[in-house]
Amino acid sequence: MEIAAAVMISCCLLMAAWYVTGACLTPVRAGDGVRIKLLVGVSGSAPELEQAVSGLLWLIDNGTIPGEIVICDLGMDESARTAARALAGDSGRVHFGSCDTYGTG
């Protein structure tokens, strides 16, 4: 009997933790006529660029953030530009360009 009660309490605690985690990741909703672009400003060598873009793509893929990623060149070195072009590829979800296009440069 005690084991069953302990299992039930553990399940309730896990469900509560799952609910709180889900509330923290409430999906962003884009209304009619709204497009969300996530601008990622990059300068220097940016060794964590791929990790940052991968994390944002995960949020897009699981429906938390509907949008596209735009990698903005804020003075990248050539290796970072090469990485940004590779990340942009042909997916249509990641773009690479100048921040001037978006009024942030």
Q: What would the pLDDT profile of 6-36 be if each residue is shown by its tens digit?
A: 888 988 888 887 777 666 666 677 778 888 8
Residue 63: inside a domain? yes
* C-alpha separations of 57 from 4, 12, 66 in Å: 41, 32, 10
**Residue 2 belongs to some domain of the structure:** no
Where in the sequence is the domain holding 76, given as residue range(s)?
Answer: 31-102
Residue 87 domain flag: yes
- Banded pLDDT at 56 (limits 50, 70, 90): very high
* Domain annotation covers residue 64: yes
Residue 16 lies in a domain: no
DSSP 101: G
In a domain, 57, yes or no: yes
User: Is the residue at 6 inside a domain?
Assistant: no
**From the CB of residue 52, how many other CB atoms can be counted at a distance below 10 Å?**
15
Distance of CA 94 to the CA centre of its chain: 11
Q: Hey, CA dihedral for 49, 54, 57, 62, is it positive or negative?
A: negative
Instruction: Look at residue 4 and tell me if it is in a domain.
Output: no
